[in-house]
Structure 1
Amino acid sequence: MGNFSTAEGSDSVALGSDAVASANGSVALGQGALADRQNSVSVGTVGAERQITNVADGVVAEGSTDAVTGSQLNQTNVRVDGVEDRIGDVENVAASAVTYDDETRSRVTLAGEDGTRLTNLARGAVSASSTDAITGGQLHGALQTTADALGGGAAVTAFGTISAPTFAIQGGNYFSVGDAFGALDAEISGLKQQVGDIDTAMRTSANRGDGAVASKDARTGAAASVTSAPATPVATPTGTDVANTDEVASAPDVQAEAGEARGGVTTTAAEDRASRGEIAGTSVESVHADSGDGSAVATVAEEPAAQGTDATADTAGSSRVSGVPTPASVSAPVAVDSAGTPIAGGAAAAPADAISADVRAYADSTATQAVSSANAYTDQRFAAFNDSFDTFKGDVERRFYDTDRRIDRQGAMGAAMLNMATSAAGIRTQNRVGVGVGFQGGESALSVGYQRAISDRATMTVGGAFSGDEKSIGVGAGFGW
């Protein structure tokens, strides 16, 4: 319907002048409308489109074929905008999120400019199989325990290290475990030497009998060993030593090979007992007996002394008993050393040797155990020190690395400021802006500055430089006349 309207397709409708419905089942509405698609409705043509207004909201549902209005589409657009904002937020969060370095999830690298500190961590489990992170408080506790075990004033420093202890050993101060145990080892070696000296002194011979010889030095306070055959007994009352007997036989003079004679044993008929001389390590008095016959039984002197028939003594502190008759009631003979201590003789020599061997074996065993225990303790402590030192070394290396980077940044900032200032120096305008870039040691910096010419004779300048977390700013003024 309409001038020059055409409905060419079957079951097609054309309303309006010049309207054309060329496709089957198509509808062309309005002047110049063209419906050239099958089963379609057209209200215009290309370049002459029309709006369809006053359309009721269509049903928005699966399978719906209703037309959707602008208001319905606006609601959808609002929701889509909200989704886009949320997606942007997610992208921002993802950019700052901590993620694994790769799909194996075996490593996470934090991207802090100067490293990243993890805080507010729970205390990790400390065990042989634990893989938990350890907090600074736990590490401080471990270091404090180590410092307490070391003693000597060792303490945990503010840098997470242990200060050196001070060990006092025999009047000397030592500032490490190794030095302290070295000093202890030296003291133990000295102790072993002293034990060896005691053992040597205990083996000093105190010989008795006809033709016997006393050899070596009996050290003060040391027991002497007897190595010769039993001497002829001396008649003495039971329970008393020879120096205090009431019946002592007469004997030849006492002779000293390495010195003067110390006096013989004399007898008188007045009394039946010996007159007692002083018995001491420094005494040179003789011992006298009043009656009886036989040989002298005891001598105490600083010089070597031999008593009895054919007796000789060759070193200081030696003593000799020999040539004494043997009554049936005579008790075992007794000899004394330089300190006046009775010395066992004859059959007692073997126990003395056994005691000497036991003392030496005990000293060797004790020293070996002490050194072994000290070495084990030292190894354990040094293992802990090595771990602490490795940690301290890593911390120092990191600090030096950070310092190097900061120095490079400062250098780059200085170069940037210089280039910014020189780049604006040749400009002859009232307002000037300069930009400079600097590089040093792999670090870069940016500098921006502004200068205002107040007059031909005065200027004011402000500028700043930036490099990572490092920033600097400066203000200046210039005058001329």
Structure 2
Amino acid sequence: MNPIRHLPAASVLLAFAMGCTLPGEARAQATCLGPATQDALYDDTVACGAQSEATESGAVAVGSFAFARGPYSTAIGFGADAWTRGSVAVGTSAQVHGIFGVAVGRASWSNAEMAVAMGYEARAFGSYSLALGANAVATADNAVALGSHSQGNRSWTVSIGRLGAERQLVNLAAGTEGTDAVNLNQLNAVAATASAAAAAAQDTADQALGSAQAANTAASNAQSTADTALSAANNAQSTADAALAAASGNGAAAANAQATADTALAAAANAQSTADTALGVANSAQSTAEAALAAAGNAVGVANDYTDQQVAAGVTQANDYTDTRVAAGVTQANAYAEGRAAAALSAAQSYADAGDAATLASANRYTDQRLGAITQAFDQLQLEVWDRFDQTDKRISRTGAMNSAMAQMSAAAAAIERSNRIAVGVGYQDGYEALAVGFQRAVRDNVTVTFGASISGGERSVSSGLGVGW
């Protein structure tokens, strides 16, 4: 049976195009030739290039020092290394350490399950992460870093830049669903709506201020009413003063009556003198004179009694009337003025104070709540971002130093042609050192066993390998 019939066409074409030879065994195996080339060890494997190895079934290693170590893995390029099942490493020093991972580009590195790194020194360290672009880094699970030097360090996020080197996302359609991104036009519309709401709130505040001013006007009107009532009280006081003056006039009339009585008394005295003269003339004239004198005395007593009674009654009545009217007028005026003024002022102050206090309290409460929530959210976000950056930088540096140490240890052990090989490698990256120690034992000419370990700070890495050739 011709074994070539059982080989995939691509393997046959690749073997002939590169000057490779196929073994005569009846199995699907192809071994490409070159200086110090290692044989492909399993079915359907291809190894082409100096020191290249394809050590698992279906593995392909093309290029000097290319290693396809996982089942169905592919390593193409100088120093390309595909360690795990279904992994693909394309480019000089491309490295894949996670199952089904992909690394394309010089010094690209996929270090987690199904992680993809494409571009010069691209790094994909999170499971299912994607780093696309030169020096792009995706360190979190399911993170995506797009573009040169972009960093994706949060799970389930897409990054198009890094801190201090952000990019703009242009030509973005307006979002239509709850989880869609929004563009600047949509934000401007929201800002316009917010401005309109703020204007409406300002109008409400202006209206409240106008109401307060109206209340102040009402209070001023109430004060005017109180002033009018006070003026009326003053007029009543003037009326009372006039009544008192009238009473004083009645007292003057009584004084005039007393003067009339005095005049009558003087006349009686004159009559007495006339009577005395007449007495000297005749006795009958004496009797008449005495009778006239008695009548004059009675008239004086009656006049005095009447005058005193009328004066006292007039003064008492005038005083009582004046006091009553003045007291009633003043009391009524004061009560009316004070009641209206107090009611108007109380209503105006209550209305203005209640409106202003409610508006000011609501505005202050809303402002304090919003500012407090925004400040707390930004502070928490800043702390989380810096903490994640610090942890990620440390792990990247330590892992890089460990990988460098392991690579140097492996290279040192591979160059010794003895049964027992011990190698030590050191690595350094961004201030972190790593140490790697390995032991390799050639059990037989075609069987080797390898053990290795690396350490850097709190990071540890242990590896072992078995090589069989025939």
TM norm structure 1: 0.33
- Which protein, 1 or 2, shows the higher relative CO under an 8 Å CA cutoff with sep ≥ 6? 1
TM norm structure 2: 0.34
Structure 1 or 2: more helix by fraction:
2
Q: Which has the larger radius of gyration?
A: 2
